[in-house]
Structures are given as structure tokens and as C-alpha cells.
Structure 1
Amino acid sequence: MKVYSVNKGVGFASSGVEYAQKYRKELFENFDYNDYYIFLNYLSKNITVYTDLLGYKNEQIIWIYNYLSHRTAQKSSYTVEMFIEALGAEHYEVLSQSESSIEIKVSNTQRYKLWLLEPNLIDRVDYIVNGSLVHVSHYDESLNNVEDYVQGKLVKRTFYDCQGEKSYEQFYDKNEIKVTYIDQQILFGKMAFYQYFFQQLQLEKKDAVIIDRPLDVVEGILPLLVHQVRLFSVVHAEHYNESLSKGNHILWNNNYEYIFEHADAFEAIIVATNRQNQILSQQLRKKTAIKTIPVGYINSISRKRSYKPFSLITASRLATEKHIDVLIKAVAIAKEVIPELTLDIYGEGGERKKLEEIIQKLEVEDSVKLCGHQNLDEIYSGYSAYVSASTSEGFGLSLLEALGAGLPMIGVDVEYGNREFIENGKNGILFERVSLNEMPEVLAKAIISFYEAHLDHSGRNISKQKAKAYLKNNVAKSWENLLEKGKK
């Protein structure tokens, strides 16, 4: 059986969806499945740069733009010397050079900027005439695609096969696909392009398609796939707006609205917690199976007992919705009562600069650290507690990882991950959801209460007991039961 997981993009600061797919890939390694991971967004950097970080094999990656130009995912091997030789310029001048780029002047009006993945290895090349970007050439083992620009705006992309022959062209308006010319066909718009791609996959009825990011995708491809393959959709977040839902009127999360309206087209909708399963089952008007399968797993439960006192850890993308700023402010307040308190923040994202400024302003540089991306497997257990101010975790993979390390937790009293993992007063504190302006004070009180109740010590065994349900074999069995049950 072939299993296809459908996503849109992937990047350095991967979200919970990408990590959920990574965990699924690892679970499927022990099954007799051929699993593939489809990415539909155009990426300006070689996709293997990102997928290597998540442990994918190149043959598992189906990037739509590569697939339709008869290419597989390939690591970049195109060198600066290869580019210079192909350029054929008798005279050129290197204007600047760094670890990430080289700027070359070939005439008074023309220059190239070579963007490097590592020294001497090219990712892409900007061609600039009279100070204006004309086109961008992207490389892996050879020329992959060329983007054409007019007055700074993208107008066309041309994709090439491994032999250097043109495979297809796309024309753009306001960065949106307008027309694709491929295989003597004319495809209008993005959805027609997606549909053409899924037709080329030659899916069979026994194959499974798992849709992870449905928004702007599923509406176009569902009519093509329904009754043709086994269809599944995974809900990765809160699925509705509770405050704006009244009686029988449910205001769905727009990421999943189309899925829920056409739920009977799916063999199952998958959620990460029993609580979300219960709520969605009561709300959904269309009949379909709703299955609970955690989006992550843990390999083992830590036996380590020692940890640094009064040390907090959090791990997430540095994004606005994670409210990392609230954590920093709360720690600054709590330190007035607990001077030894520290917070280490793991992850990267667009909010880093803002968070650095808050740390400096509050003068907590000695106790609050931005630690970047790291493998946390052996790091979690050295802390006294995990803390989160996020109000919208559908599951919370970092919460699960911390649970497996035996960490007690402090989090907002919201569905679903926090209530799934935190037993209030036993292995942590669930604090009241209030406005963001009030939250630092409320969280600071929760942190102080946590340590006053010695939950950093007594909560560790309870966390370890709760973690047993998420061991790899148990989660793998859930997937196996789902996929084997309907296998033909």
C-alpha cells in the first residue's frame, strides 16, 4: 500500500504539522507501506535542505514542481566553478564574497549574485541588469528552474528536466499561478495545476491520502480523489471558535471548514486527543469515523531524577501566537519571589529580535536565554518544569516530549494539549486564561505556586505515568489498526 501525506510547505522553523509528519514517517518505517510526503508550495531553496533536517529520505519527497519536471529531490551539487565555466565570460570581477553569497560583475550593467548553501555550492543565482532583478536561476545537481521578473514582479517560471530540456512553464500575476503550459495542455489557475499533478500520481483505490494542510488545497483536489482512494484528514489545531459558536451554529476553523462540510468523503478524520474527538463527534453533522491518534510519540520514559532547581524550559517556534513574550515577562515578575528562577527558550522564528529586546528591557539577560534549535532529547530532563503560554495547542508535541522526560508542566487551562497532559495540582498547574495584558501576572503567580507546592519534585512520577500511553509502540498500533482495517 502507498500512503501519501499532503502538506503545503516546509522550512527551517517547522511547525507542529511538519513535526507530526516526521513522527508519522518514523512510525511507518516498521510497516510494509511505501510512504511519500507531498509538498505543494513553491520553495525558493532546495527542498532537501529542509527535509534533511527532519530525517526524510529523498525518495520519499514529492515536491510537485520537481515531480512534474521528472526530477526527484536532489541535494545541491552545482559549484561556483561550474557556473563560471557555463557563464563563459572572458572578464569578470568579484565585487564581494561571504560564506552565504558571491557577487560578480561582468559588465557595467550586468552582475550576478550567487547564493550559497555552503562554500562553493550554489543554491540560486540572481541576474541583475542596471540594478533591476531580471531572473533567478535555481540549482540542485543542475539547473532546476528559472524565474523571470519584470519591474521587480514575478511573471514566469520555467522548469527543466535533468537533461536540461524544458518541461513546463507557468505564468503569474501577483505571485499567483494564472496559467501552466505542460504536456501540450493549458491549465488555468492553481487548482487545475494541483489536479493535474494528482492525476499523474496514478493513485489506486487501496492507496491512502492523508491531508495535513487542507486550506487552499482540498477544495480543488477532493472532487478528484473522492471514491478513488482512501481519504483521511488530520486536525492539527482547535477546530472551531468556541466563543463565536452558538447553539447549532458552529464557527469552524477555516483550515478545516471544507473538510467538515464534506466529512462523508473521508474514511476517517483524525484528532490527537480523546477530548477533541468527543467534542467534534457531537458537532459534526456529516457521518464519518473520528479517530484519536496522537500526532507524536516518545521512544522511552526518562529515568533521570536529578535536575536544576527553579529551571524552566519551553520549546516552540518563536512566533506571536506562542506568546513567548508573556513567559519572559512572567519570569521577570516571579523572580522577585524566586531570585534563582531561570527560563531557557528553544526554537527559532520571526519573533527572535523582539524577544531579545524584551529580555534586555526587563534586564533578565542572566536568567532568560534564547537557545535556538537543538536536539532536546537529552536536555529536557535537566529542567524542573516545562512552561507554556500558548492558548491554541491542538496537542503540543513539545509538551509530549517534556512529559516523556518526566517534567511537570505549567500551562494555560485550555483545550486540548494542556488538559491532556497536565493534571492540575498533581503534575503541574493549569492557570486561568485571561487577556494577554493580564497573563504575565497570572502566570507568575502560577509559577510561584508551582514551586511552593513542590510540584517540581512530586509531579515527575505522575508525568512519567501519563507518558506511557504515548510510547512509540502504542501510537504505531493505532495507525496500524486504522490503515489495516480498511485495506483492500
Structure 2
Amino acid sequence: MRVFDFTLLSGYEFSGVDVAQGFRARLFEKNNVNAKFIFTELPTIRDMELYGSQKIKRGQIMSAHLFMIGRLDMSLSVKKEALLENEKENYEYDYIDENGKVICLYNSGEKSVEILCDEDGFVVNESLFKNGKKYLVNYYTDSLSYTELYNWDNDSSDGLNPERRIFWNKQGQMVYEQCIYKDNVEYLFKNGEVIDNVEFLERFVKALNLCENDICIMDRAGYLDYIQPLFENKGKSKLIAVLHSDHFYKIYEDESSLYMNYEYYYWFKYSEAIDYFVVGTDEHKRGLEAFLKEYDCFVPHIAAIPPGAIPEGKLKSENERRRGSIISASRLSPRKGIDILIKSVIKAHEINQTINLDIYGRGDDGYTIYLKNIVKDACADDYIHFKGRCNLEKIYPHYELFASFSLWETFGLSLMEAVGDGLAMVGLDVRYGNRLFKHPDENGYLVDFDVETDYQNKDKLCERTAAAIVKIFEDDNRLKKFHENSYMIAEEYKEHVIESKWMQLIKNIL
């Protein structure tokens, strides 16, 4: 059995999908599942670091482009000492500077070669310079895998992006070139054949030789080039489509969609080719099944499996929680309702001056400025703070309350993490994650919300949300009870529980 997960994204902001893929990679490795997580676009160093931070190892990552030159994963094995000795013979140099992971050769005061290594001393890439400008970068795995060429002679080139790439097999022979244009790419083979990106990915999928014992997991939908080739060439392999967003939106619920979520249009249209849909909650499962029936789509099996889990052996926090402290953790976007949260805290602080808020996460610059101006105009800078994005594992236990006024949550990994650290919870009564982790009068409160009326009348909404926040901090004994109940709710989401759901799904599908 082989599992192929499509697709790791290149060049995008970090999201909950990446966290879910990292969790699944660790789960599969633990259970000896032969799984590969696929880049259908070439990853940057930043991309590799991002997925590495989620514990997806290079040996678990497959690049479509490198697979087509005989590399089954992206493991590194070229030692820096070997490459350095080779380059010392190839290039004139005055001195060598080694600083951490970077080794540079200088000639007449100018850098000519720069070698970047990982923490184990294996070569990631090698950049060559002329007259202070980078003109070529060699990327390594088990040997030289591909070369990026930069053109400084073209007046329209800023030298920041490569003009073409040459891909080499293990014997050092060129297999194909990738020509990079403003709006598209083309692939040129030695026989003179030229194909586009969709055709290239079709060849990649065919080269996988998928069979009835293989499983392909699709974590990304939309208009990505791999979708159609995979559907058309999956053979007898099994397809699992994971929905990380909702399938349907009412007005105001999403900035880019209304009614059907067209990100999933292709999946729904050809749902008879899909063996399983996976969603995060039972409520979402029921809603998706009804939606597919309403739109006369084939209804495959649907499984409700959370996209993450709470680590085994996680202990109750012994930290002293800061009095009146509230934490939010999400992308800063209108759909997340951060403006509602800020205005609610401002109102609540008028009644209880111990109430304070720390906002974790990043987002669009324009929206972030809008949020900061709300805080500034209310002179609330001393009790509302923007903290940026960081690892919150050791931060949650210092807070008493987790607040999320998102208009909807497909699951809400940050909500799960918060109950895992025993925080009280408050938010809007919306699907799906809020209702999953916020149990009214047990570990916090849900505030009644109707998007079609309340979104246009946020002042009245903020009066209700502020009242809920104030109420949570009114009774210390009740707040402690909320903390204890959150720990109990979290038990349903421990790793062994979620792990068993995935392994049972794999057993069922084969």
C-alpha cells in the first residue's frame, strides 16, 4: 500500500491545512504507512522549512519535478566537505568564510560561491556570483538535481526570479528544461517536445503507476493543475478528498464566495470518482451529505475525522493564569471577526478593568491596520496587544479565556488546542468548531448569532458578546469549573482517538 497526499503548497502563507498535513505525516510514520506528501510545484527553501516545522521529513516529501528525474523523495546526502573541496579546485579564491549553515568563497573581495547547508551539514544549494550578482543556483538532493539560471542581461529582469531550470538525472545528464514566463511555464525535452504544466503533471501521475492498493489524498482543491490529471489517471487507486473549508456560505460569511464554495466545484461535479470525503465534524458531515443530495451530486462515503489532535500525556497546566486574560489565535481576516472581538473587549473593559486581550496571528496589512486603528481610537493600547504569529504551545496555559468570534469554523485547531490547555471558551453560536468545543454553561458561552441580521448591526452584537465576556469573569469558582470542563472535553481529541479513525478509514477503503 502506498499513500500519496496532494499537495503541499509553494509560496503561500502558513495555514491550518499545513498543520493537518503535518499531523497526518507523523501519524502515518508512527503506523508504518508508506506515505509521500507531494509538491506539484517546486518548493522554495522557505516552503521546506515551513513543512519541516510541522515535522514532515524530507524523506516523506516528493517533488513531481524531481520524481521525473528519478528522485523518489527530497532527502539530502551531499556532504558540505565534499562539495567544498570540489569547488576549491574549480574556482579561484582568496579566503573562505563559514558562518553557521552558510559557506562562502571570496575572490578579490567579491563573493563567488555560496553553499547553503542544513543543520546536519548536507548541502541544500549552491549559488554562483559574478560581479556581485547571482547568476546560477544548483540544488542538491542525493546529487545535483536541478539548476536555476538567472538572466541579468534582460532589462525587464530584476534578477530575483530564475528564467529557466535544467533538471539532471543521477548520472548528471539533462532530462528536461523548464522555461519560466510571466504567466506560465513550459517544459522542453531533449527530443524537442514542448508541453505545458498540466501535461507535465499528467505524465507525473501516470508515472506513479497507481493501482488498487494505492490511496491518493487530496488536501487542496480549487484550480490547481494536478486535479484533472489525477482524476483522469487514478486507475483503480482510491481517492480521499479532505474538506478544510465549508462547502456552502451565506451572505457575509466569506469574502470570496456566496452559496456553493466553488473551490470544491470539481470535486462535487465528479464526486462519483471519489471514494471518501473527509470533514472535521459530524455536523459538517450531515450538512455536506444534505448539500450533495440537494444538488443531485453522487454522495460517496463521508467520514468525520478531526484534522489534528491533542498530544498524549499532555498535563494540566500548573501555570498561574493571568487574571482577566483573553487570548485569540487566528489569521487576521474579516471572516475571523477580530473587529467584533476587539470592540467587545473594549466594552467589557469598561465594566471590568482587569480584562485584557492578546491577539495572535497575522493577516492582510490593510485589515491589520484597520484593527489597530480601532484599538488606538479607543485608547485601548494598554490592555489590547497584537502579538503576531508564533508557536502557542507554551503560551495558552497563561490565559484564562479563549475568544473566537469567527463567522464559522470548519474545525478550529486553535480552539482544540485551547480546550487542551483548559481555557474557558466564548464565541458565536456558529458552525462547526465553535459548537464542538464551546459547551454553554459547561466551559463557557455561545452568543446567539444570525449572520444576515447581526453582521450589519455589529454594535448590538458587541453588546451581547461583551456581556458574555464580563459574565465569564464574574465568578472565580465558575471560571475554575469551566477550566476543568475544558480539560474533560479535550479527552475526545487525544492522538490515539484520532489516529484510530484514520487507520480505520484506510482499512475500510482498501
Q: Same fold (TM over 0.5)?
A: yes
Distance 1:288 1:78, change over 3 A: same
**Residue 331 of structure 1 contacts residue 341 of structure 1 at CA under 8 Å; is this kept in 2?**
yes
Letter in 1 for 2:387: L
Correspondence for 1:450: 472
User: Quick one: distance in 2 between partners of 1:19 and 1:173?
Assistant: 32
Correspondence for 1:146: 147
User: Quick one: distance in 2 between partners of 1:131 and 1:323?
Assistant: 47
**Residue 333 of structure 2 contacts residue 367 of structure 2 at CA under 8 Å; is this kept in 1?**
no
Correspondence for 2:290: 282
**Residue 327 of structure 2 contacts residue 358 of structure 2 at CA under 8 Å; is this kept in 1?**
yes
**CA displacement 1:261-288 (0-9 Å, x = unmatched):** 1111111111111111111111112131
Correspondence for 2:416: 400
Correspondence for 2:91: 88
1:172 maps to 2:180? yes
Q: Alignment RMSD, CA only?
A: 4.0
Among candidates 188, 191, 195, match of residue 202 of structure 2 = 195
Distance 1:86 1:254, change over 3 A: farther
Among candidates 307, 313, 324, match of residue 327 of structure 2 = 313
**Residue 332 of structure 2 contacts residue 368 of structure 2 at CA under 8 Å; is this kept in 1?**
no
User: Quick one: distance in 2 between partners of 1:275 and 1:480?
Assistant: 22
User: Quick one: distance in 1 between partners of 2:420 and 2:206?
Assistant: 42
**Residue 234 of structure 1 contacts residue 270 of structure 1 at CA under 8 Å; is this kept in 2?**
yes
User: Quick one: distance in 2 between partners of 1:391 and 1:114?
Assistant: 48
1:323-342 superposed matches below 5 A: 324=338, 327-328=341-342, 330-342=344-356
SS at match of 1:282: helix
User: Quick one: distance in 1 between partners of 2:90 and 2:469?
Assistant: 62
Correspondence for 1:2: 2
Correspondence for 2:231: 222
The CA deviation at 1:388 is: 2.0
User: Quick one: distance in 1 between partners of 2:146 and 2:89?
Assistant: 16
**Residue 381 of structure 1 contacts residue 406 of structure 1 at CA under 8 Å; is this kept in 2?**
yes
The CA deviation at 1:399 is: 0.8
Among candidates 407, 421, 424, match of residue 437 of structure 2 = 421
SS at match of 1:5: strand
Aligned residues: 477
**CA displacement 1:26-83 (0-9 Å, x = unmatched):** 3334435212211222222175433321112332111222322333323585489569
User: Quick one: distance in 2 between partners of 1:400 and 1:385?
Assistant: 13
Percent of paired sites with the same residue: 26
Q: Which moved more, 1:79-88 or 1:193-202?
A: 79-88
Correspondence for 1:69: 69
1:299 maps to 2:311? yes
1:465 maps to 2:472? no
1:480 maps to 2:503? yes
Letter in 1 for 2:469: I
User: Quick one: distance in 1 between partners of 2:134 and 2:208?
Assistant: 36
1:59 maps to 2:59? yes
User: Quick one: distance in 2 between partners of 1:470 and 1:141?
Assistant: 39
SS at match of 1:159: strand
Q: Which moved more, 1:417-426 or 1:348-357?
A: 348-357
Distance 1:311 1:373, change over 3 A: same
**Residue 298 of structure 1 contacts residue 470 of structure 1 at CA under 8 Å; is this kept in 2?**
yes
The CA deviation at 1:409 is: 1.4
Distance 1:389 1:147, change over 3 A: farther
User: Quick one: distance in 2 between partners of 1:189 and 1:278?
Assistant: 40
The CA deviation at 1:136 is: 4.3
Distance 1:369 1:199, change over 3 A: same
User: Quick one: distance in 2 between partners of 1:467 and 1:384?
Assistant: 16
Q: Which moved more, 1:474-483 or 1:424-433?
A: 424-433
**Residue 99 of structure 1 contacts residue 116 of structure 1 at CA under 8 Å; is this kept in 2?**
no
**Residue 345 of structure 1 contacts residue 372 of structure 1 at CA under 8 Å; is this kept in 2?**
no
Q: Which moved more, 1:166-175 or 1:192-201?
A: 166-175
Q: Which moved more, 1:451-460 or 1:420-429?
A: 451-460
Correspondence for 2:163: 155
1:207 maps to 2:214? yes
The CA deviation at 1:322 is: 4.2
Distance 1:78 1:28, change over 3 A: same
**CA displacement 1:126-174 (0-9 Å, x = unmatched):** 6677887654444567544333345326532112345543332112222
Provide TM-score, normalisation by structure 2: 0.79
User: Quick one: distance in 2 between partners of 1:451 and 1:261?
Assistant: 49
SS at match of 2:423: coil
The CA deviation at 1:223 is: 0.9
User: Quick one: distance in 1 between partners of 2:96 and 2:344?
Assistant: 54
**Residue 127 of structure 2 contacts residue 136 of structure 2 at CA under 8 Å; is this kept in 1?**
yes
Letter in 2 for 1:384: E
Distance 1:367 1:167, change over 3 A: same
**Residue 272 of structure 1 contacts residue 295 of structure 1 at CA under 8 Å; is this kept in 2?**
yes
The CA deviation at 1:347 is: 4.7
SS at match of 1:335: helix
Correspondence for 1:27: 27
Q: Which moved more, 1:398-407 or 1:294-303?
A: 294-303
Structure 2 stretches lacking a partner, 5+ long: none
Distance 1:115 1:316, change over 3 A: farther
The CA deviation at 1:385 is: 1.3
